[in-house]
Amino acid sequence: MLMQNSTSDMTLIEAMPLLARNGGDWYGTYIHLDDAGQVLDRHKSHLIPRFEADSDRYTQTNIYTWNDGRQVEYEFTGVYRNGKVVYDTERIYGEAWETDDKTIILKFSYKDDPEKYIYEYIHLSDDGQHRTRVWHWFNGQGEVYKHTLIKESRTPD
Amino acid sequence: MTTKVFEKSVMPVLARHEGDWYGVYVHVDANGNEVDRHYSHLISVYPQDGSCNYHQTNRYGWENGQFEEHLFPGNYDAENNRIIFDTERIWGWAREIDERHVQLQFTYKDGNDKYVYEFVHLSDDGQNRTRMWHWYNEDGEVYKRTLIKESRVKTDAHAKLNL
Protein backbone atom coordinates (compact mmCIF):
# COMPACT_ATOMS: atom_id res chain seq x y z
CA MET A 1 0.00 0.00 0.00
CA LEU A 2 1.27 3.46 -0.80
CA MET A 3 1.42 5.71 2.22
CA GLN A 4 1.14 9.00 0.40
CA ASN A 5 -1.39 10.37 2.86
CA SER A 6 0.60 9.56 5.95
CA THR A 7 1.26 12.37 8.34
CA SER A 8 4.55 12.88 10.05
CA ASP A 9 3.04 12.40 13.51
CA MET A 10 2.34 8.72 12.83
CA THR A 11 4.64 6.22 14.45
CA LEU A 12 6.84 4.27 12.10
CA ILE A 13 5.03 1.01 12.83
CA GLU A 14 1.66 2.58 12.00
CA ALA A 15 2.89 4.31 8.87
CA MET A 16 4.93 1.46 7.40
CA PRO A 17 3.42 -1.83 8.57
CA LEU A 18 5.26 -3.91 6.00
CA LEU A 19 8.61 -2.51 7.13
CA ALA A 20 7.65 -3.25 10.74
CA ARG A 21 6.99 -6.90 9.79
CA ASN A 22 10.69 -7.08 8.93
CA GLY A 23 11.59 -6.70 12.63
CA GLY A 24 13.66 -9.43 14.31
CA ASP A 25 16.56 -11.61 13.24
CA TRP A 26 17.38 -12.49 9.64
CA TYR A 27 20.07 -14.95 8.58
CA GLY A 28 21.17 -15.10 4.98
CA THR A 29 23.77 -15.04 2.25
CA TYR A 30 24.94 -12.12 0.11
CA ILE A 31 26.15 -12.93 -3.41
CA HIS A 32 27.79 -10.10 -5.35
CA LEU A 33 27.73 -10.45 -9.15
CA ASP A 34 29.15 -8.28 -11.89
CA ASP A 35 26.93 -7.04 -14.70
CA ALA A 36 27.60 -10.24 -16.68
CA GLY A 37 26.45 -12.48 -13.83
CA GLN A 38 29.90 -13.61 -12.63
CA VAL A 39 30.27 -14.09 -8.87
CA LEU A 40 32.60 -11.50 -7.31
CA ASP A 41 32.10 -12.19 -3.61
CA ARG A 42 29.90 -14.10 -1.22
CA HIS A 43 29.37 -13.87 2.55
CA LYS A 44 26.94 -14.74 5.32
CA SER A 45 24.76 -12.15 7.01
CA HIS A 46 22.90 -11.64 10.26
CA LEU A 47 20.62 -8.60 10.32
CA ILE A 48 18.63 -7.37 13.30
CA PRO A 49 16.11 -4.58 12.64
CA ARG A 50 14.66 -3.39 15.96
CA PHE A 51 11.35 -1.53 16.17
CA GLU A 52 9.87 0.13 19.25
CA ALA A 53 6.25 1.13 19.82
CA ASP A 54 5.47 4.87 19.70
CA SER A 55 8.68 5.72 17.90
CA ASP A 56 9.37 7.53 14.64
CA ARG A 57 12.56 5.49 14.04
CA TYR A 58 14.16 2.06 14.11
CA THR A 59 17.69 0.77 14.44
CA GLN A 60 19.32 -2.03 12.51
CA THR A 61 22.52 -3.98 13.01
CA ASN A 62 24.10 -5.75 10.01
CA ILE A 63 26.78 -8.37 10.67
CA TYR A 64 28.60 -9.80 7.63
CA THR A 65 30.87 -12.86 7.97
CA TRP A 66 33.16 -14.33 5.32
CA ASN A 67 34.42 -17.92 5.21
CA ASP A 68 37.95 -16.73 6.05
CA GLY A 69 36.67 -15.43 9.38
CA ARG A 70 36.55 -11.76 8.44
CA GLN A 71 33.62 -9.95 10.03
CA VAL A 72 32.16 -6.48 9.54
CA GLU A 73 29.39 -4.87 11.56
CA TYR A 74 27.30 -1.79 10.77
CA GLU A 75 24.58 -0.11 12.78
CA PHE A 76 22.26 2.57 11.46
CA THR A 77 18.96 4.26 12.21
CA GLY A 78 16.05 5.00 9.89
CA VAL A 79 13.71 7.91 10.69
CA TYR A 80 10.13 8.22 9.42
CA ARG A 81 9.51 11.37 7.41
CA ASN A 82 6.62 12.13 5.02
CA GLY A 83 5.72 8.60 4.01
CA LYS A 84 9.29 7.32 3.81
CA VAL A 85 12.08 6.14 6.06
CA VAL A 86 15.17 8.30 5.72
CA TYR A 87 18.69 7.01 6.40
CA ASP A 88 21.24 9.75 6.90
CA THR A 89 24.46 8.36 8.35
CA GLU A 90 28.16 9.10 8.04
CA ARG A 91 28.38 6.66 5.09
CA ILE A 92 25.08 6.89 3.24
CA TYR A 93 21.96 8.89 2.47
CA GLY A 94 18.90 6.91 1.48
CA GLU A 95 15.11 6.68 1.47
CA ALA A 96 12.80 3.65 1.64
CA TRP A 97 9.10 3.33 0.90
CA GLU A 98 6.49 0.60 0.50
CA THR A 99 5.15 -0.02 -3.01
CA ASP A 100 2.72 -2.87 -2.31
CA ASP A 101 1.89 -5.36 0.44
CA LYS A 102 5.07 -7.36 -0.21
CA THR A 103 7.61 -4.86 -1.51
CA ILE A 104 9.84 -2.13 -0.09
CA ILE A 105 12.13 -0.03 -2.27
CA LEU A 106 15.26 1.57 -0.88
CA LYS A 107 17.34 4.06 -2.82
CA PHE A 108 20.68 5.16 -1.42
CA SER A 109 24.07 6.63 -2.27
CA TYR A 110 27.40 6.53 -0.51
CA LYS A 111 28.44 10.00 0.59
CA ASP A 112 31.98 9.55 -0.72
CA ASP A 113 30.67 8.66 -4.21
CA PRO A 114 27.36 10.51 -4.56
CA GLU A 115 27.00 10.23 -8.33
CA LYS A 116 26.51 6.47 -8.20
CA TYR A 117 23.32 5.13 -6.70
CA ILE A 118 21.94 1.85 -5.45
CA TYR A 119 18.38 0.58 -5.56
CA GLU A 120 17.37 -2.22 -3.23
CA TYR A 121 14.17 -4.23 -3.63
CA ILE A 122 12.95 -6.06 -0.53
CA HIS A 123 10.34 -8.80 -0.82
CA LEU A 124 8.76 -10.25 2.33
CA SER A 125 6.75 -13.48 2.08
CA ASP A 126 3.17 -13.32 3.33
CA ASP A 127 4.04 -15.53 6.31
CA GLY A 128 6.98 -13.28 7.23
CA GLN A 129 9.47 -16.18 7.20
CA HIS A 130 11.30 -15.57 3.92
CA ARG A 131 12.92 -12.41 2.66
CA THR A 132 14.54 -11.69 -0.68
CA ARG A 133 16.56 -8.56 -1.31
CA VAL A 134 18.51 -7.36 -4.31
CA TRP A 135 20.83 -4.40 -4.68
CA HIS A 136 21.48 -2.96 -8.12
CA TRP A 137 24.57 -0.77 -8.29
CA PHE A 138 24.31 2.00 -10.93
CA ASN A 139 26.97 4.35 -12.25
CA GLY A 140 26.24 8.01 -12.84
CA GLN A 141 24.77 7.23 -16.27
CA GLY A 142 22.22 4.80 -14.81
CA GLU A 143 23.98 1.73 -16.21
CA VAL A 144 24.14 -1.21 -13.83
CA TYR A 145 27.62 -2.51 -12.97
CA LYS A 146 26.95 -4.85 -10.04
CA HIS A 147 24.15 -6.86 -8.47
CA THR A 148 23.93 -8.14 -4.91
CA LEU A 149 21.51 -11.04 -4.39
CA ILE A 150 20.37 -11.70 -0.82
CA LYS A 151 18.21 -14.55 0.46
CA GLU A 152 17.27 -14.67 4.13
CA SER A 153 15.25 -16.66 6.61
CA ARG A 154 14.46 -16.48 10.31
CA THR A 155 16.75 -19.36 11.27
CA PRO A 156 20.55 -19.68 11.07
CA ASP A 157 21.97 -22.26 8.66
CA MET B 1 -9.56 -5.96 -27.25
CA THR B 2 -9.94 -2.29 -26.58
CA THR B 3 -11.41 0.52 -28.56
CA LYS B 4 -10.57 3.28 -26.10
CA VAL B 5 -7.92 5.78 -27.04
CA PHE B 6 -4.97 5.41 -24.71
CA GLU B 7 -2.83 8.41 -23.93
CA LYS B 8 0.61 7.01 -23.17
CA SER B 9 1.59 10.07 -21.15
CA VAL B 10 -0.51 8.74 -18.23
CA MET B 11 2.36 6.28 -17.66
CA PRO B 12 5.35 8.44 -18.58
CA VAL B 13 8.06 6.06 -17.37
CA LEU B 14 6.66 3.18 -19.39
CA ALA B 15 6.35 5.47 -22.41
CA ARG B 16 10.11 6.10 -22.30
CA HIS B 17 10.63 2.36 -22.92
CA GLU B 18 9.09 2.58 -26.40
CA GLY B 19 11.25 1.11 -29.15
CA ASP B 20 13.90 -1.60 -29.41
CA TRP B 21 16.02 -3.12 -26.64
CA TYR B 22 18.91 -5.54 -27.11
CA GLY B 23 20.21 -7.47 -24.14
CA VAL B 24 21.32 -10.61 -22.37
CA TYR B 25 19.29 -12.72 -19.93
CA VAL B 26 21.20 -14.61 -17.22
CA HIS B 27 19.12 -17.04 -15.14
CA VAL B 28 20.59 -17.94 -11.75
CA ASP B 29 19.31 -20.28 -9.03
CA ALA B 30 18.80 -19.20 -5.42
CA ASN B 31 22.52 -19.72 -4.76
CA GLY B 32 23.60 -17.48 -7.62
CA ASN B 33 24.65 -20.35 -9.91
CA GLU B 34 23.96 -19.74 -13.59
CA VAL B 35 21.34 -22.10 -15.02
CA ASP B 36 20.77 -20.52 -18.45
CA ARG B 37 21.81 -17.58 -20.61
CA HIS B 38 20.48 -16.15 -23.87
CA TYR B 39 20.31 -12.99 -25.94
CA SER B 40 17.15 -10.91 -26.31
CA HIS B 41 15.48 -8.36 -28.53
CA LEU B 42 12.39 -6.69 -27.11
CA ILE B 43 10.10 -4.31 -28.98
CA SER B 44 7.70 -2.03 -27.12
CA VAL B 45 5.02 -0.30 -29.19
CA TYR B 46 1.74 1.56 -28.70
CA PRO B 47 -0.59 0.19 -31.40
CA GLN B 48 -2.95 2.70 -32.97
CA ASP B 49 -5.23 0.08 -34.55
CA GLY B 50 -7.34 -0.55 -31.44
CA SER B 51 -5.99 -4.06 -30.92
CA CYS B 52 -4.53 -3.16 -27.51
CA ASN B 53 -3.06 -0.19 -25.64
CA TYR B 54 0.52 -1.44 -25.32
CA HIS B 55 2.27 -4.31 -27.01
CA GLN B 56 5.55 -6.00 -26.33
CA THR B 57 7.35 -8.59 -28.42
CA ASN B 58 10.06 -10.60 -26.67
CA ARG B 59 12.49 -12.43 -28.96
CA TYR B 60 15.02 -14.77 -27.34
CA GLY B 61 17.98 -16.41 -29.06
CA TRP B 62 20.41 -18.99 -27.69
CA GLU B 63 23.86 -19.67 -29.06
CA ASN B 64 22.81 -23.24 -29.98
CA GLY B 65 20.25 -21.81 -32.39
CA GLN B 66 17.18 -22.15 -30.19
CA PHE B 67 14.72 -19.31 -30.71
CA GLU B 68 11.55 -18.18 -28.93
CA GLU B 69 9.13 -15.34 -29.50
CA HIS B 70 6.47 -14.27 -27.02
CA LEU B 71 3.79 -11.62 -27.56
CA PHE B 72 2.35 -9.56 -24.71
CA PRO B 73 -0.63 -7.38 -25.59
CA GLY B 74 -1.50 -5.12 -22.64
CA ASN B 75 -4.44 -2.92 -21.79
CA TYR B 76 -4.69 0.08 -19.50
CA ASP B 77 -6.46 -0.30 -16.16
CA ALA B 78 -7.39 3.31 -15.34
CA GLU B 79 -8.58 2.56 -11.83
CA ASN B 80 -5.15 1.32 -10.76
CA ASN B 81 -3.06 3.26 -13.30
CA ARG B 82 -1.44 0.12 -14.64
CA ILE B 83 -1.20 -2.05 -17.73
CA ILE B 84 -2.74 -5.51 -17.45
CA PHE B 85 -1.35 -8.46 -19.41
CA ASP B 86 -3.80 -11.30 -19.86
CA THR B 87 -2.50 -13.88 -22.30
CA GLU B 88 -2.78 -17.63 -22.73
CA ARG B 89 0.30 -18.10 -20.56
CA ILE B 90 0.22 -15.34 -17.93
CA TRP B 91 -1.84 -12.83 -15.98
CA GLY B 92 -0.08 -9.80 -14.56
CA TRP B 93 0.31 -6.07 -14.42
CA ALA B 94 2.89 -3.31 -14.79
CA ARG B 95 2.87 -0.03 -12.91
CA GLU B 96 5.24 2.82 -12.20
CA ILE B 97 6.71 3.13 -8.72
CA ASP B 98 9.03 6.10 -9.18
CA GLU B 99 10.54 8.19 -11.97
CA ARG B 100 12.96 5.39 -12.94
CA HIS B 101 11.02 2.20 -12.26
CA VAL B 102 8.27 0.04 -13.62
CA GLN B 103 7.27 -2.89 -11.41
CA LEU B 104 5.57 -5.99 -12.80
CA GLN B 105 3.90 -8.87 -11.06
CA PHE B 106 2.64 -11.89 -12.95
CA THR B 107 1.57 -15.48 -12.52
CA TYR B 108 1.54 -18.32 -15.02
CA LYS B 109 -1.82 -19.86 -15.85
CA ASP B 110 -0.65 -23.43 -15.29
CA GLY B 111 -2.48 -23.85 -12.00
CA ASN B 112 0.28 -23.34 -9.46
CA ASP B 113 0.66 -20.53 -6.92
CA LYS B 114 4.12 -19.45 -7.96
CA TYR B 115 4.54 -15.79 -8.88
CA VAL B 116 7.11 -13.51 -10.45
CA TYR B 117 8.07 -9.95 -9.55
CA GLU B 118 10.03 -7.88 -12.03
CA PHE B 119 11.68 -4.52 -11.46
CA VAL B 120 12.64 -2.47 -14.49
CA HIS B 121 15.11 0.37 -14.08
CA LEU B 122 15.47 2.89 -16.92
CA SER B 123 18.45 5.24 -16.97
CA ASP B 124 17.66 8.95 -17.02
CA ASP B 125 18.93 9.24 -20.60
CA GLY B 126 16.75 6.32 -21.73
CA GLN B 127 19.69 4.37 -23.17
CA ASN B 128 20.26 1.69 -20.52
CA ARG B 129 17.80 -0.65 -18.95
CA THR B 130 18.24 -3.14 -16.10
CA ARG B 131 15.58 -5.68 -15.28
CA MET B 132 15.41 -8.49 -12.79
CA TRP B 133 12.81 -11.20 -12.44
CA HIS B 134 12.37 -12.80 -9.04
CA TRP B 135 10.70 -16.22 -9.17
CA TYR B 136 8.83 -17.12 -5.96
CA ASN B 137 7.33 -20.42 -4.86
CA GLU B 138 3.93 -20.60 -3.18
CA ASP B 139 5.56 -19.78 0.21
CA GLY B 140 7.07 -16.55 -1.10
CA GLU B 141 10.60 -17.99 -1.07
CA VAL B 142 12.74 -17.06 -4.06
CA TYR B 143 14.02 -20.01 -6.11
CA LYS B 144 15.32 -18.31 -9.25
CA ARG B 145 16.34 -14.90 -10.50
CA THR B 146 16.76 -13.60 -14.01
CA LEU B 147 19.24 -10.76 -14.52
CA ILE B 148 18.74 -8.72 -17.68
CA LYS B 149 20.91 -5.91 -19.00
CA GLU B 150 19.81 -4.07 -22.14
CA SER B 151 20.71 -1.13 -24.32
CA ARG B 152 19.41 0.51 -27.48
CA VAL B 153 22.35 -0.85 -29.47
CA LYS B 154 22.21 -4.06 -31.50
CA THR B 155 25.44 -6.04 -31.07
CA ASP B 156 27.13 -8.47 -33.48
CA ALA B 157 25.97 -11.34 -31.27
CA HIS B 158 22.33 -10.27 -31.75
CA ALA B 159 22.78 -9.91 -35.50
CA LYS B 160 24.35 -13.37 -35.73
CA LEU B 161 21.27 -14.88 -34.04
CA ASN B 162 18.87 -12.92 -36.27
CA LEU B 163 17.52 -11.02 -33.28
In a mutagenesis test of the B interface, which of A121, A131, A150 is the best target, namely the one with the most B β-carbons within 10 Å?
Answer: A121
The stretch A151-155 carries a mean pLDDT of 96
The stretch A9-18 carries a mean pLDDT of 90
Q: Percentages helix, strand, coil for chain B, rounded to the nearest 5?
A: 10, 55, 35
Q: What does the alpha-carbon distance between residue B154 and residue B63 come to, in Å, rounded to a whole number?
A: 16
Asked whether residue A2 carries a pLDDT value surpassing 50, the answer given is: no
Quickly state the pLDDT bin for A8 (edges 50, 70, 90): low
Among the ranges given (A74-78, A88-92, B4-8, B93-97), the one the predictor scored with the smallest mean pLDDT: B4-8
Measure in Å the smallest separation between the Cα of A118 and chain B Cα atoms.
11
Residues of B in contact with A29 (CB under 8 A): 31
**Number of residue pairs across A and B with CB atoms under 8 Å?**
93
Q: Is A99 helix (H, G, I), strand (E, B) or coil?
A: coil
The stretch A1-24 carries a mean pLDDT of 78
Cβ-contact A42, A20 below 8 angstroms = no
The stretch A41-45 carries a mean pLDDT of 98
pLDDT computed for residue B111 by the predictor: 79
pLDDT computed for residue A121 by the predictor: 97
Cβ-contact B98, B121 below 8 angstroms = no
Nearest chain B residue (CA) to A141: B123
pLDDT digits (tens, 9 = 90+) for B77-103: 999 999 999 999 899 999 999 999 999
Q: What does the alpha-carbon distance between residue B149 and residue A144 come to, in Å, rounded to a whole number?
A: 8
Smallest Cβ–Cβ distance between B34 and the set A37, A119, A151 belongs to A37
Chain B CB within 8 Å of residue A36 CB? yes
A130/B142 Cβ within 8 A: yes
B141/A37 Cβ within 8 A: no
pLDDT computed for residue B2 by the predictor: 53
Residue ranges for chain B with pLDDT beneath 70: 1-5
Chain A CB within 8 Å of residue B117 CB? yes
